[in-house]
Structure 1
Amino acid sequence: MCRLFAITSKEPQSPMLAIKALDVMKEGHDGSGVGLLLQGLGGTFEEMKDAPILSGIFTEEGIRRLDLFMMDLGFMTKHKVSLKPPKTRIEGIPRRHVYLIRAYELPEGWDALTQEDLAVKLLEVRLKIREMGEEKNDMIVFSFWPDTIMIKEIGDPMKLAEYLGLDRKELQARIIMAQGRQNTNYAINLYACHPFFIKGYCTMTNGENTAFIPIKDFLSSRDVPGYTGYQSDSEVFAHILHFAMEELGLGIDGYKHVITPLQRDALERHPNFEFLNHLKKTCRPLIIDGPNMVIGTLPDHSMFMVQDRKKLRPGVVGGKPGMFAFSSEICGLDVVIPDRDKTMDIQPMHLDTAIVSPERQEVNICRQTEPLNLPL
């Protein structure tokens, strides 16, 4: 199994907090890798929230090709952080040239684009860089989005964090998502490492998505840019989230009705029966068959946790006003927020969506039996 840990905090925190949580949960993961999402950035990046940030791993030749490609598009570097590995090798961690984090000035004229059009263009650039990198194995790109950094690598999470110096102030963030374990169901590929990100939506999962093929086929047929790749059976959770909220116009409460719709007797008693019955029929290929526990974030920096009906993967939410954490195990919470009121910890059940809003004052529970916030 994987182990997951996520932090949402009013003040920027070091990603080392999440790494420490993974370390105390290491009996539950195999130490084969780590994936990090950082948003609500502090430090220098906080002063350039609208600048898209490119995150990835590059060879020297890859950087040269990247520079030519970005300059041709009109992107100019605004700020960068290069994580260059030390000369001393650590067993189990591949030798890379540079882990690149680079913020860009938008090309001339892009400032006038709508947010929707800009999102599409940024996605197209990321997909093109990924395609270029796969041609020559010299570029791996994880994200290209404002106020967002993603780092992924093979190796023990704690050793890797120390190896790359992830305790630096420039990497502090208000939203931190961390997953410990590489994709060991298939060949190891960094594109298969959680978390998964698309247009401001991000998810990571502990479990096994046995309904992967019908979900992948449905999403791939929607003609939505970005519903591609699928090196991991868990990547579809991020795309279902995007589809539910952006393509269908649902809220986060609707996402749960898409992936785990109510059974017939409960559905018939629901105040929104007609709508939900139609939703269940039309989105039937998106129903998940776990066991899966999913942690995710939304573009407004809300954070949530959901379980499928089997509820065979652990998950707990706890914290205090200003800082909450979502964890696979309680010991992860204990090491990061030891002074919380532990009697207020919540372990979401299969009908629940546990949500912490951007205000970070409390954990709210939305149950599927409650009235739905329907799109207008």
Structure 2
Amino acid sequence: MCRLFSLTSRDPVSPMLAINALNVMKEGHDGSGVGLCLRGLGGPFGEMKEAPILSGIFTEAGLKRLSQVSADIGLDPKYSMTFTPKTPPPPGTPKRGTYLARAFDIPDAWKGLAPEELAREYTRFRLMLRTTGEEQGDMQVFSFWPDTLMVKEVGDPMEVAAYLGLDNKDLVARQILAQGRQNTNYAINLYACHPFFIQGVCSMTNGENTAFIPIREYLASRGVDGYCGYQSDSEVFAHILHYTVNRLGLDLEYYKHVITPLTNEELDGHPDRENLVRLKQACRKLVIDGPNCVIGCLPDGSMFMCQDRKKLRPGVVGGKPGVFAFSSEICGLNAAIPDRDTSKDFQPMHLDTAIVRPDCQEVTICSQLQALPHLH
């Protein structure tokens, strides 16, 4: 199993809080990799919320090609943060090029676009760089989106963090998702490393999705830019979440009904039975098989945890007004927020979704047996 840790805070904090929590849970993961997604950025990036940020790893040739390609499109570099190692890589970590996060002013041609069209341009640019980067071996691109920064690498999380200097005082965020393990179901590939991100939606998973192939085929048939790649069976969780909130226009509370619908017996007498029966039928190809514990984050900063029906992967949420965390183990929660009221810690069961809204005031527990927000 891997270990997951995410944190949502009213004020920007260092990703080292999440890295330290992963380190405390080290007996539960193999230390073979780390993935970070930072949103609600502070520091210099926090002053340019609308500027898309490109996150990735680039060789010297890749940096030159990036400059040329972005200039051809009309993307004007605004601010760059590089993670430049000053020591040899730790054991198990390959020596690569420049770890880069670069914010851009967008081209004039993009400035009048509707939000969904602008999102499509961002996604197409990222996919173009990823595809050509894989062909030429000169870049790996993890995200291109406003107010978002991603870091992925093979190796022990604490050692990688020290190697890359992730304690940089300018690197802070309000939402942090971190995973401590490389992909082990398939070949080692940074694109298989959690968390997964698409158009403001992020998720990571501890478990195994045995329904991966039919879900992947269904998503790929939707005609949505970005529903592709799939180096990991867990990436579909992020795309199902995106499909639920962006394409179906449903609230977060519906996500659990898409991936693990209620049984016919449970639906009998449910206040939203008619809508849920239709949703179950329409989204039957998106039903997951587990066991899986899913942690995710929405564009507005809402963060959540849910389990599938097998409930065989650990997960707990807790905190205090202003800062909450979602963790695979309580020891990770203790490391990050030691002064919380532990009696309020909550471990979601198979019907629950635990949600912390952007105001970071409390944990809301939504049961699938409860009435749902009105369908849009």
Shorter-chain TM band: over 0.9
Other-structure match for 1:3:
3
Q: What's the CA shift for 1:375?
A: 2.2
Give the residue type in structure 2 aligned to 1:252. Answer: L
| Cα contact 1:41–1:172 (8 A) shared by 2 | yes
- Distance in 1, Cα, partners of 2:86 & 2:330: 34
- Across the aligned residues of Structure 1 and Structure 2, the Cα RMSD in angstroms comes to 0.8
Q: Secondary structure at the match of 1:96?
A: coil
**Residue 6 of structure 1, CA deviation:** 0.3
Aligned to 1:332: 332
Tell me by how many angstroms 1:66 deviates: 0.8
> What is residue 179 of structure 1 aligned with on the other side?
179
* 1:131 maps onto 2:131 in alignment: yes
Q: Deviations over 1:189-240 (max 9, x none)?
A: 0000000000000000000001101110111111111100000000000000
Report the alpha carbon displacement of residue 274 of structure 1 after superposing the two structures with TM: 1.4
Q: What whole-Å deviation, never above 9, does each CA across 1:92-125 have from its counterpart, x for those lacking one?
A: 1110111011000111132211111111110010
- 1:91-110 to structure 2, matched below 5 A, reads 91-110=91-110
Residue identity matched to 1:222: R
Whether 1:343 and 2:352 are equivalent positions in the alignment is no
Q: Which amino acid aligns with 2:84?
A: K
> Would you say the 8 A contact 1:85–1:97 is kept in 2?
no
Q: Is the 8 A contact 1:39 1:174 kept in 2?
A: yes
Helix, strand or coil at the partner of 2:268: helix
Hey, what's the Cα distance between the residues in 1 that align with 2:295 and 2:278? 26
The answer on whether the counterparts of 1:260 and 1:287 sit within 8 Å (CA) in structure 2 is: yes
Structure 2 counterpart SS, 1:269: coil
Counterpart of 1:374 in structure 2 is: 374
Shift of residue 3, structure 1, vs aligned partner = 0.1
Range moving further from structure 2, 362-371 or 104-113: 104-113
Identify which range, 199-208 or 107-116, moves more after superposition.
107-116
Return the alpha-carbon distance in structure 2 between the equivalents of residues 54 and 34 of structure 1.
19
For the residue of structure 2 that corresponds to 1:131, the secondary structure is: helix
Question: Which residue matches 2:221?
Answer: 221
Distance 1:227 1:244 in 2: 13
Contact 1:38 1:148 in 2 (8 A): yes
2:220 and 2:110 map into 1 onto residues whose CA distance is 28
1:246 aligns with 2:249: no
Contact 2:87/2:163, CA 8 A, preserved across alignment: no
Give the alignment of 1:1-376 within 5 angstroms. Answer: 1-376=1-376
- Using the TM superposition, give the Cα deviation of residue 90 of structure 1 relative to its aligned residue in structure 2, in angstroms: 2.0
Letter of the 1:140 partner, please give it. Answer: Q
Segments of structure 2 that go 5 or more residues without pairing to the other structure are none
- Identity between Structure 1 and Structure 2 (%): 65
Tell me, what secondary structure is at the counterpart of 2:360? coil
Which whole-Å CA distance do the structure 1 matches of 2:88 and 2:56 have between them? 21
- CA shift, 1:246, in A, is 1.1
**TM-score w.r.t. length of structure 2:** 0.99
| Conservation of the 8 A alpha-carbon contact between 1:293 and 1:314 | yes
Normalising by structure 1, we get a TM-score of: 0.99
CA distance in 2, matches of 1:77, 1:249: 34
In 1: Cα distance, 2:69 partner to 2:375 partner: 40
2:78 is aligned with what amino acid? K
After superposing the two structures, state which structure 1 stretch, 82-91 or 330-339, moved more. Answer: 82-91
2-11 vs 110-119, which moves further: 110-119
- Paired letter, 1:364: T
Hey, what's the Cα distance between the residues in 2 that align with 1:87 and 1:349? 44
Equivalent position amino acid for 1:294 in 2: V
Cα shift readout 1:23-42 (whole Å, capped 9, x = no counterpart): 01010000000000011111
What is the distance in 2 between the residues matched to 1:142 and 1:290? 26
Q: How far apart, CA to CA, are the structure 1 residues paired with 2:240 and 2:353?
A: 15
Q: Distance in 2 between matches of 1:282 and 1:147?
A: 33
Opposite residue 248 of structure 2, the aligned amino acid is: L
- Report how far residue 87 of structure 1 moved: 4.0
In 1, Cα distance between equivalents of 2:271 and 2:320: 34
User: What letter corresponds to residue 158 of structure 1 in structure 2?
Assistant: M
Which deviates further from its counterpart, 113-122 or 86-95? 86-95
Distance 1:281 1:375 in 2: 16
Distance in 2, Cα, partners of 1:215 & 1:4: 23
Whether the 8 Å contact between 1:5 and 1:178 is mirrored in structure 2 is yes
Q: CA contact under 8 A between 1:85 and 1:96: conserved in structure 2?
A: no
CA drift of 1:278 comes to 1.3
Q: Cα deviation per residue 1:112-166 (whole Å; 9 max; x = unaligned)?
A: 1111111111001000000110111111000000000000000000000001000
